[in-house]
Structure 1
Amino acid sequence: MLMPHPTMLRRLVEEYETLMSHPGGGDMEGSDDGTGQRVLRAQDLAYTLCVSTGTREVGRALEAARRLLAAAHDPVAARYLAPPHDSAVPG
């Protein structure tokens, strides 16, 4: 399985949690206050988190993301999360 880069994963988690912490972040109806756009963005982030972590539910995706981010702070585990600097894909 491909591993998401910790920086990208951290950004996804932070943005998703920020959106969900705002009033109306989980509402499914749009309104003139931007709630509809927040809902769409939260759905996009949830989908991306699920794809990035190989899960199908956003709760499990967040759990997996947190585990991956914690492992990224462990020097031994971190080398399994990021490709080596000299790994280039032939073009």
Structure 2
Amino acid sequence: MLMAHPAVLTDLVRQYETLHGLQAENGGPEAQQRLDDVSYTLCIATGTRDVDTALIAARHRLPGARTEDDSLLIPGT
């Protein structure tokens, strides 16, 4: 699988967080469409199918992520 560059992931996560905040406040159609686009791009860039998993995967690949971070483990496994 191709891996997105950390700078690209950083930018996508920042965009998502900003748009998510704007959408919660304003909920305009432009903000919602951009949020949908960024969410989709995050999923493609991380090889995942939903935005929550994409955010976890992106953050795990960013500089400074702890290698012992267990946030990707499924409870009880």
TM-score by length of 1: 0.65
Structure 2: gaps (5+ residues): 66-77
Match of 1:44 among 34, 37, 48: 37
Aligned length: 63
Q: What's the C-alpha RMSD, in Å, of the aligned pairs? A: 1.4
Q: Which residue of 2 aligns with 1:8?
A: 8
Q: Which runs of 5+ in 1 are unaligned?
A: 28-34, 75-91
TM-score w.r.t. the length of structure 2 is 0.76
Structure 1 ranges of 4+ moved more than 3 A:
none
**Alignment-mate amino acid for residue 61 of structure 1:** A
* TM superposition shift of 1:73: 3.9
What is the CA–CA distance in structure 1 between the aligned matches of 2:33 and 2:17, rounded to whole Å? Answer: 14
